Amino acid sequence: MSIVVANMIGTGIFTSLGFQLVEIQSGFGISMVWIIGGILAFSGAVCYAELATRLPEDGGEYYFLSKIFHPALGFVAGFVSSTVGFAAPIAGAALALGAYMHGVWPWINEMILGIGVIVIISCIHWWNARLGIDFQKGSTVLKVGMIVLFIVLGFAMATEYVNFLPNEQAVAEIFRPINSQEGAGNSWSIFYVITPAFATSLIWVSFAYSGWNASSYIAGSIENPKKNLSRSIIFGTLMVTILYVLLNMVLMMSTNLENLEGIKEVGLVAGKALFGIKFGEIMGGVISILLVSTISSMVFTGSRVLAKMFESIPRLSVFSKREEDGNPRRAIVVQMILALVLILVMNFPQLIYYIAFTLSLFTMITVLGMIVLRIQQGKPQGYRAWGYPITPIVFIVTTGAVAVFFIQEKPLESMYGLSTAVLGFIFYLFSKPSNPS
């Protein structure tokens, strides 16, 4: 559960509000996008919980899609997971950490600090698996505790009034009418669709919620997976959803929304507004430290996905070697290098859009795979996805619609994501991997 929570609570929640406020200026609209994002994450989580308990092996989408569809699709999904799903978020979290620390101490170089943090945390996990796990648990408890404290103090000290109830202007930010008709002297509509602004904000939110499937990547390393996997995914997702909605309310109530618009380090701005400059800077420093937990969880999880992939590639199997305690040291080094390359070649918004779009495609295919497995093998003996078939259908349709919108609005970042998948397939043909056991 600490892996799930740490993967979810990271860069997105501490950075995305400022970019959402560029498109949506109402408290109701922002709250709705986070609530809907939580519903979608929960819908995907219950599906992954069934898959992971049914196929309890390390690897996540790589293992699931290889078993359900074809090793080629599984390999491409694993390639995307190892690059976009873990290395890119590690780079993004490191950049966000650097931005927060630079806001507190302007003399700090964001890029150098981000690179240093990636190297140090990778070394901790490389040195000893048990040390890495204990570090992960402790940093996650600290993270959740500090967020709860920030929420409680924020509600007690916030002075700005923000309307979180629906009104005509707020609803118009979310829905726009189609098939408008004239009637009784007023324009009215039979059908409505979400606005481009809301869809763009949903992309940011989907990135913030990414990680709800984290424990499925290490299913083979979890004790009693048929019981613990579903609990870790579902309860972790529900906890984070509640924290996200409350935290965004506090951030919006801390200061005038214009002061947060387009700002990456919104937590630092909100902290200064709520508690004064000095204590606000301390809170900004604390938030940057909390991002260490996010980086740590991704280093731990992502390296195991890489190791699982390398096992099936004869030419790269040397990188799949694990130590006696199961620690994939060589995969940790490979992942660290990937993250360092990405932090040097992409800026922060590009990283977020690239991650959100590409991951959504493969989570959508994986949830579809859960339906296919149900059709092929019937209901599982253990955990069954709550709300089936409504929850997987809601997830697939909504995620697919947002992906289509994203391709139209962000063609460059879409091309990066699709190119990564194509590169993974080329790599598959070159490597000639064997079927996962």
The whole-number pLDDT of residue 181 equals 47
The answer to whether 51 touches 219, Cβ cutoff 8 Å, is: no
Supply the DSSP symbol for 381: S
Per-residue confidence in pLDDT tens, the chain, 437 aa: 877 887 788 777 877 888 888 888 888 888 988 998 889 888 988 898 888 888 877 777 888 898 899 888 988 888 887 777 788 888 888 888 888 788 778 888 888 998 999 999 888 888 876 666 677 677 778 878 888 888 898 888 887 778 888 877 777 877 776 654 444 444 444 555 677 778 778 877 887 887 787 777 777 677 777 778 778 888 888 889 999 999 999 988 888 888 888 787 788 888 888 888 777 777 777 777 778 877 887 888 778 877 877 777 777 777 777 777 677 888 888 889 988 988 887 777 777 777 778 888 888 999 999 999 999 888 888 778 888 889 999 999 988 888 887 788 778 878 888 888 898 888 888 776 555 54
- C-beta atoms surrounding 398 within 10 Å: 20
What length does the chain have? 437
Cβ-count burial 52-89 (b if 16+ within 10 Å, e if not): bbbbbbbbbbbbbbbbbbebebbbbbbbbbbbbbbbbb
- C-beta atoms surrounding 311 within 10 Å: 21
CA angle 94, 80, 202 (to 5 degrees): 70
pTM: 0.76
Domain 2-431 bears CATH identifier 1.20.1740.10: yes
CA-wise closest residue to 115 among 332, 337, 349: 337
Residue 185: left (phi > 0), alpha (psi -120 to 50), or beta? left
The answer to whether 44 touches 386, Cβ cutoff 8 Å, is: no
The whole-number pLDDT of residue 191 equals 56
The whole-number pLDDT of residue 435 equals 54
The answer to whether 124 touches 219, Cβ cutoff 8 Å, is: no
Q: At what angle are helices 277-311 and 110-127 packed, to 10 degrees?
A: 50
The whole-number pLDDT of residue 214 equals 77
- Amino acid type, 117: V
The structural domains of the chain, with segments of one domain joined by +, span 2-431
Q: CA 49: distance to chain centroid?
A: 17
CA within 13 Å, CB half, 334:
21
